[in-house]
Amino acid sequence: MARNNQALVPNARAALDKFKMEAASQVGVSLKQGYNGDLTSKQAGSIGGQMVKKMIESYENGLK
């Protein structure tokens, strides 16, 4: 099975990048534009976890 790394909504890339930068800032990890392959697994996981936490909070607030 070939994997495709294209966004389903092309305009969403900028919003996701902004969201990622905000999440990184909230957990104290500094990201730079472009390649961030020098991050530790712990740092990358913290960013991803913060993003998921915010998405769940947003969804729950939408249900209220």
Residue 21 domain flag: yes
pLDDT (tens digit, 9 = 90+) per residue, 1-33? 566 667 678 788 888 899 999 999 999 999 998
Geometric angle at alpha carbon 15, from 10 and 16, rounded to 5°: 85
Residue 4 domain flag: no
Residue 48 domain flag: yes
The tokens describing 14, both together, are 């900028």
Which comes out higher in pLDDT, residue 52 or 10? 52
Residue 5 domain flag: no
**For residue 51, what are the domain limits?**
12-28+39-63
Q: How many domains does the chain have?
A: 1
Regarding pTM above 0.85, the answer is no
Residue 58 domain flag: yes
